[in-house]
Amino acid sequence: MTQKERVLNELTWRHSVCSTRFLEAHIPRAAARIAELRAEGYLIVTETCNDPYHNHKTRQVQYRLQQPEQTVFFSDDVIKVVHG
């Protein structure tokens, strides 16, 4: 598995992934890999990590993968309901 595949794997199977987790998983350039995935069309959101168990001393980010097909399906459903 390439580093990019490992990053995608983490994002797919977890709700959100803290940047420190990528360091623990020995993916030091996760931000660069995420930039590549975004360029391929993946919707990856960057947020501040607020997990109290991580006990960060400085601001750390976490990444979350959005599933666009679910959103499209849901809005189609809503449109059908609205138009009867």
Q: Is 46 in the site for Zn ion (CB under 5 A)?
A: no
In this structure, which amino acid lies at residue 32? A
Q: Which of 25, 44, 49, 61 binds Zn ion (CB under 5 A)?
A: 49
| Unique residue bearing structure tokens 């009867």 | 84
3 vs 60, which CB is nearer to Zn ion? 60
Q: How far apart are CA 44 and CA 66, in angstroms?
A: 6
Q: Is 18 in the site for Zn ion (CB under 5 A)?
A: yes
Q: Which is nearer to Zn ion, 48 or 70 (CB)?
A: 48
Beta bridge partners of 65: 44
Residues that bind Zn ion (CB under 5 A): 18, 49, 51, 54, 60
